[in-house]
Amino acid sequence: MQPTRETTWRAGRFWWDWPRPIDAQAQPLKTLGAVIFDLDALADIESSGHRLAFNAAFAELGLDIEWTPTRYRQLQALRDERRRVAAELRKRGVSSECDVLAELLVDEICAAKAMILDETILDADITPRPGLVDLITEAFGAGIGIGVVSSGRHEWVEPLVRQLVGEGIVNTVVTASDVAATPGTNLYQAALADLGAPAQDSLAFAGSPANQRLATAAGLASVLVDDDDTHGAPLRVADCQRVHDKWLETSRPSAA
């Protein structure tokens, strides 16, 4: 198995566990321009944050619904949270496909959830995925630009990033509200612009297939972190460089 433009982090065997060349440590290290993390790649925000906020919203509205981690993972196959809520209501016989009252209930649930998330996210038991903070610290020490992107609200995303990583290490935090005024600019493009790094010299860690597609659209080599079982060898900048260089090699147009 070889690294490709879109690489996936899965349980058991990981992309940085692939065999290194015998002389890997002796080779001069070319420096990445930037490493950009989707917040959902940096930590399990969905299950440890959004899921619990939804459960609190269900309880607040008197609904006998509680999403387990397993059920929430199933629902994440749906593109957005409104569809997930609507699917759950239909499954429980609360609504039908064209139920206007159910649409209002979905609105009410999502609004309550958003308010609860804003109020509780910084106190939630959210921890970074193993190895990623060490990687970020090493990259920062090597002069590589560090960015974090998120579809969440900037008001809680930035302080949460500081909680997870520490002060003064992440160079830029870009959220959906930050790019709302510039149609056509995605989160990764905005982060690259802030960091002053070219896409072809940078690597993205995405927390979902949708965000990996955004990274690819921005011209970034990307790694998909899609499993919370992240045991493995320590992750190093050299591993990131190796995967990036392999992507660059395989994506370069062949000579005519």
Residue 110 host element (H or E): helix 100-120
Q: Pick the residue with more confidence: 126 or 234? A: 126
Comparing 72-86, 159-173, 230-244, which segment has the lowest mean pLDDT? 230-244
β-partners of residue 15 are none
Q: How many CB atoms lie within 10 A of CB 78?
A: 14
Q: Is the pTM of this model over 0.85?
A: no
Residues 13-39, mean pLDDT to the nearest whole number: 58
Q: What Rg do the C-alpha atoms of the chain give, in angstroms?
A: 20
Q: What b/e sequence results for 159-198 when a residue is b if at least 16 CB atoms lie within 10 Å of its CB, and e otherwise?
A: ebbebbbeeeebbbbbbbebbeeeeeebbbbbbbebbebe
pLDDT in tens, 42-65: 999 999 999 999 999 999 999 999
pLDDT in tens, 123-157: 999 999 988 999 999 999 999 999 999 999 999 99
User: Could you give the domains of the chain?
Assistant: 34-43+127-251 (3.40.50.1000), 46-123 (1.10.150.240)
Average per-residue pLDDT for the chain: 83
The confidence band for 98, taking pLDDT boundaries of 50, 70 and 90, is low
d(CA 184, CA 153): 19
Residue 160 host element (H or E): helix 154-165
The answer for residues whose C-beta is within 8 angstroms of residue 46's C-beta and 6 or more apart is 40, 72, 76, 207
Q: Residue 122: is it exposed, middle or buried by C-beta count within 10 angstroms (0-12/13-18/19+)? A: middle
d(CA 52, CA 178): 26
The answer for residues whose C-beta is within 8 angstroms of residue 35's C-beta and 6 or more apart is 135, 136, 139, 144, 145, 146, 147, 202, 203, 204, 205, 240
